[in-house]
């Protein structure tokens, strides 16, 4: 667990250092401040209100303790939240046939977890339990806050680059060719770091979820099934709103074949390998 947290810290330090370097090169102190305020204001709004926006976007329906159809699902989440020593999150179901799930909310006291009806059809109870434990691990690790900070800094870097392109601030301080390269490459570098942080958080949620459910093999089996069906069954809402793909346990987009540096999620094979290794180590 410590390794992924260290990696996250190093990557966040790297994206912050990139912001400082680009800011000095293109905008100076005032430009950096404007870009940070611009990106920060958008992402603070997203941090507080994006959970309801995403749930509404996916037509999520809240499940309560007296819901007969999803009775087992609700009390499964309740048990796992108690295992994780978390407040009971709001529980939602999404009428999508593609198996997938996500967690949202600004902190553990305002969290929500959602699963598609397709996932409940494809997975058995043990595998579903592993997936929901993974989502609760995201809540426990406050990954929404981490992703918001990363998005703010990455957005500030992009804003600085746009300011530089439109107002030519970099040319006053540097060789114009170098300034142009910084403007073009800095947002790409920021995006790559942001994706790397996202992958590290997925590994950490896998490990945390295995600890909450005490069943790493169940999550491994679930990931293999979800990975297969994601490429067979489209998720129309995700296709229309691709920015939400990084929230899911596996990227739901039909075009999500990119691997390595350009992926928001680790390769499923590697996630499964690590979970099985964890299970063997625990045995």
Residue 135 annotated among the catalytic residues of the structure = yes
Point out the least confidently predicted range of 92-101, 140-149, 150-159, 257-266. 150-159
Point out the least confidently predicted range of 48-62, 102-116, 156-170. 156-170
Query: Does the pLDDT value for residue 137 go beyond 60?
Result: yes
User: Which of 96, 127, 135, 202 is labelled catalytic?
Assistant: 135
**Interval 78-125: pLDDT, tens:** 999 999 999 999 999 999 999 999 998 888 999 999 999 999 999 999
- With a pLDDT cut of 70, the percent of the chain lying above it is 69
Average pLDDT over residues 22-26: 62
Comparing 231 with 255, the larger pLDDT belongs to 231
Local confidence band at 131 (pLDDT 50, 70, 90 cut-offs): very high
Query: Does the pLDDT value for residue 74 go beyond 60?
Result: yes
HEC assignment per residue over the chain:
CHHHHHHHHHHHHHHHHHHHHHHHHHHHHHHHHHHHHHHHHHHHHHHHHHHHHHHHHCCCEEECCCCCCCHHHHHHHHHHHHHCCCCCCEEEEECCCCCCEEEECCCHHHCEEEEEHHHHHHCCHHHHHHHHHHHHHHHHCCHHHHHHHHHHHHHHHHHHHHHHHHHCHHHHCCCHHHHHHHHHHHHHHHHHHHHHHHHHHHHHHHHHHHHHHCCHHHHHHHHHHHHHHHCCCCCHHHHHCHHHHHHCCCCCCCCCCCCHHHCCCCCHHHHHHHHHHHHHHHC
Domain boundaries along the sequence of the chain: 2-282
Instruction: Report the pLDDT value the prediction gives residue 99, as an integer from 0 to 100.
Output: 97
**Interval 171-228: pLDDT, tens:** 445 566 766 777 777 777 777 877 888 898 999 999 999 999 999 999 999 999 999 9
Instruction: Report the pLDDT value the prediction gives residue 172, as an integer from 0 to 100.
Output: 46
**Interval 26-35: pLDDT, tens:** 656 666 666 6
Instruction: Report the pLDDT value the prediction gives residue 170, as an integer from 0 to 100.
Output: 47
């Amino acid at each position: 667990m410590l390794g992924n947290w260290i990696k996250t810290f190093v990557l966040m330090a790297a994206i912050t250092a990139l912001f400082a370097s680009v800011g000095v090169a293109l905008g100076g102190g005032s430009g950096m401040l404007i870009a940070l305020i611009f990106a920060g204001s958008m992402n603070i709004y997203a941090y507080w209100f994006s959970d309801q926006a995403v749930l509404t976007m996916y037509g999520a329906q809240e499940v309560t303790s007296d819901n007969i159809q999803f009775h087992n699902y609700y009390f499964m989440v309740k048990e796992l939240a108690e295992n994780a020593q978390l407040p009971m999150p709001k529980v939602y179901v999404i009428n999508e046939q593609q198996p997938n799930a996500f967690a949202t909310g600004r902190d553990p006291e305002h969290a929500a977890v959602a699963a598609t009806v397709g996932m409940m059809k494809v997975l058995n109870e043990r595998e579903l339990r592993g997936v929901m434990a993974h989502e609760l691990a995201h809540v426990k690790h406050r990954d929404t806050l981490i992703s918001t900070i990363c998005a703010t800094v990455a957005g500030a870097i992009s804003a600085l680059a746009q300011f530089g392109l439109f107002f030519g601030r970099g040319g006053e301080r540097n060789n114009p060719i170098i300034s142009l390269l910084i403007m073009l490459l800095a947002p790409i570098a920021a995006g790559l770091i942001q994706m790397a942080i996202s992958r590290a958080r997925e590994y950490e949620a896998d490990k945390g979820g295995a600890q909450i459910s005490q069943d790493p093999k169940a999550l491994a089996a679930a990931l293999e099934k979800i990975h297969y069906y994601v490429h067979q069954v489209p998720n129309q809402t995700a296709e229309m709103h691709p920015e939400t793909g990084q929230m899911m346990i596996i990227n739901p987009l039909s075009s999500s074949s990119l691997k390595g540096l350009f992926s928001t999620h680790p390769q499923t094979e590697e996630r499964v390998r690590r979970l099985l290794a964890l299970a063997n180590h625990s045995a």
